[in-house]
Amino acid sequence: MKIAILLSGRLTSYDKHYQNIIDNLVQENDVDFYAGISDEPINKKLLDGFLKLYNPIAWKYSDQPLPDIDFSKVKSGKNLAPIKKNVMYMWRNRDAVKELLQNDYDWIISTRIDIFYKNKLDYTDLDPNAINIPFGSDYAGYQDKIAIAKKPIILEYLDVYHNLKKYLIDQKRTIEPETLIKYHLKNKSINVKRCHLHHQIFPKVSLKNKISSTNKMRVIVINAYEERREKYDERYELYPAVHWTDVTEEQTEEIHFRHNANMEYRRKVTACSLSHRNLLKKIIQEDLKNIVIIEDDCIIEDFDRLDELEDVKEFCYIGGQINAPLMKDFKKFEDIKDSIRDNFSKGINVIDPKEFRLAHACAYFIPDAHVARHILNQMPNGKKMRAIDTEYISLQKKDIIKNFIYPAIGTLYLKDACQGFSYSTYKLYDDQTLY
């Protein structure tokens, strides 16, 4: 295949993962590199080294003036005010590189220079009629680091820069890059396909920080599916889940279901609930502290952010979906979800059960055995038991579970999530956005 890779951004650490790009993006394909480089003061030695290593067939400084925008009138969210211009520069860099495309390609990849990939891109899994965006840190939109598409679609995807003034001033959109790209794609009527290309900003986790984080926090994965283990490295501990095929019909009778739920669904829900309960018991029995629990359809995108939980003394969601307080309002709630999310601040927030609930038990934090015991003691037994996420929602209503961190630390893999019992729920979402 003929592939174009459009690199944009700063040149810092360009040489540290060149081979990683060759292994995971280039593979055996015929690849042309293009580069749009920020026009900030730059070390000539750094630039020369980059050009020699990547040998782009075309490159340019992104030096066109920024749009005339009054930033005092731009919504930025509570945590993005200082970096408004950085977002502008980012889209300017990408506009510069898209103008360089010279040839026809089977696929075009837009990515930052500082991204490190953890698996090979599966080109057979891409949709030629959509913008293909890897799962990642979506922060209520779509992650903006990597996108893959055919030429007409990638050009539309990269056209944010020329629409910035319209979006930010006329249409009063937030400058947050993830929500901005989601709005842009919707405005352009571009279909989105999610794909699996696990990545991080390089170097995101230094060895020092990695050791520090893993010493403070234990990240335990409730692992039900063998094929999902490969995405977890030594920073994770795998905890064997109760597999749904091992659940008896008698055990399913201990959990409340809709009358029309089939037996496979009942067994999967029961297995998931028992697995979470068993892990809570383990925390109590072994007097464990600082435990991050995730399901095996979830990952921790940025381990450094676990340090934000250091002073948290209660149960805290680190991933989940915001939903309506009542299930009957589920679909209607999608129209107001963004306005509720705009009120979240960076860090720990409190759930208002009258406004919204946090659904799913894919990622949460238990500070110690005392909290685990309190949570477990509040959950009913016998035929009053329910699915684990439903139990946690019930505890939200009782103000026993009330904390969540924003932006989410856990990232959901929708493809894996749909394999489990929650498919009928997840397919109602247009993406895997957490919060």
Quick one: tokens of 200?
Answer: 């991080």
* pLDDT given at position 23: 93
Q: How far apart are CA 296 and CA 144, in angstroms?
A: 24
* pLDDT given at position 267: 85
**Which of 181, 201, 221 is the last residue before a domain boundary?**
201
The DSSP-derived string for 10-68 is: --TTGGGSHHHHIIIIITTSEEEEEEEEE-S---HHHHHHHHHHH--SEEEEE-SPPP-
- Which residues constitute the domain of residue 186? 2-201
* pLDDT given at position 424: 41
Walk along the chain (435 residues) in steps of 10 and give the mean pLDDT of each run. Answer: 91 81 94 83 79 93 73 59 66 86 92 87 95 81 91 93 83 81 92 86 42 65 83 87 83 72 83 92 94 91 87 92 74 74 86 86 94 92 78 91 90 59 40 52
- Please check whether residue 287 is in contact with residue 122, taking contact to mean a CB–CB distance below 8 angstroms: no
**Which of 201, 236, 256 is the last residue before a domain boundary?**
201
Terminal C-alpha separation, the chain:
37
* pLDDT given at position 363: 93
* pLDDT given at position 261: 74
* pLDDT given at position 429: 39
* pLDDT given at position 208: 35
Q: How far apart are CA 373 and CA 86, in angstroms?
A: 46
**Which of 169, 201, 233 is the last residue before a domain boundary?**
201
CATH number where 410 lies: 3.90.550
- Same-domain pairing of 233 and 350: yes
- Same-domain pairing of 185 and 323: no
* pLDDT given at position 30: 95
Rounded to two decimals, the pTM is 0.55
- Please check whether residue 153 is in contact with residue 108, taking contact to mean a CB–CB distance below 8 angstroms: no
Look at the chain and report how many structural domains it folds into.
Answer: 2
- Same-domain pairing of 56 and 127: yes
Distances (CA, A) of 153 to 57, 149, 176, 372: 21, 6, 22, 48
* pLDDT given at position 430: 38
Q: How far is CA 377 from the centre of its chain?
A: 32
Placement of tokens 């926090």 in the chain: 217
- Same-domain pairing of 218 and 194: no
- Same-domain pairing of 70 and 120: yes
